Amino acid sequence: MNSKILPLAPAIAALLSIGAYQPAHAADMKHYSAGGCAPYTTGTPNYNELRFRSDGVQNQSNGYRYVICPIVRDAEDTWGITDGADVTVHFRTNTTGNFQCTLTGGATVGGSHAITQSISGDPGQNIDIVFANVNFAAEGVTDAPVSLVCRLPPKGTLSLYHVNERPVTDDPHVP
């Protein structure tokens, strides 16, 4: 056996594996607990009015209350340039009321674009708001953070939300 060739074998295997790497092109689904959201208010938040648990956040008050929820965006392209993203928000109605969510891409630096939707349901129903094929690029918002703000009716619960990014993720060639 030639001992001069053996030390090169690991280096050759490493080089071959680099060329074989392909970035992820499939949908990148993330599921979020609404327990990670926070009160959204211009005043001091009253944590007695919102009940945060791992399975959701419930409005315990007799009025509408707002929460802001984080979204980790890890697509290499802006939502919409290569492909969009879908955001689905799941609610549980406990009384009659209207849920409303605003999905915002961008920040005060560089501009932003917001999309608002609402839904109502009968007490005891599970209902959803779906932001389908979100395209912030068409609005000039690129490489920006995304957040979700939802208004909860009295006794209403934001159960969970999930994000399905379709642009390329995990591309090792993007800084």
- Partners of 130 in beta bridges: 88
pLDDT of residue 73: 82
pTM as predicted: 0.80
The answer to whether residue 1 sits within a structural domain is: no
Q: Render pLDDT for 141-166 as a digit per residue (tens, 0 to 9).
A: 888 899 999 999 999 999 999 999 88
pLDDT tens by residue, 65-82: 999 999 988 877 777 766
Asked if residue 60 is part of any domain, the answer here is yes
Domain encompassing residue 86: 23-165
Contact 39, 45 (CB under 8 A): yes
Decide if 2 is inside a domain: no
Domain CATH number, residue 124: 2.60.120.260
> Is residue 7's pLDDT more than 60?
no
Asked whether residue 31 is domain-assigned, the answer is yes
Give a yes or no: residue 138 inside a domain. yes
Calpha distance 65→79 (Å, rounded): 29
- Contact present, 144 and 135 (Cβ < 8 Å): no
Written in H, E and C, the secondary structure of 104-133 is EEEECCCEEEEEEEEEEECCCCEEEEEEEE
Task: Report how many domains make up the chain.
Answer: 1
User: Quick check: is 135 in a domain?
Assistant: yes
* Dist. CA 50–CA 152, nearest whole Å: 10
Segment 96-114, tens digit of pLDDT: 899 999 999 998 888 899 9
- Establish if 56 belongs to a structural domain: yes
How far from 145 is each of 37, 75, 126, 171, CA to CA, in Å?
16, 11, 28, 19
In a domain, 88, yes or no: yes
Contact 25, 76 (CB under 8 A): no
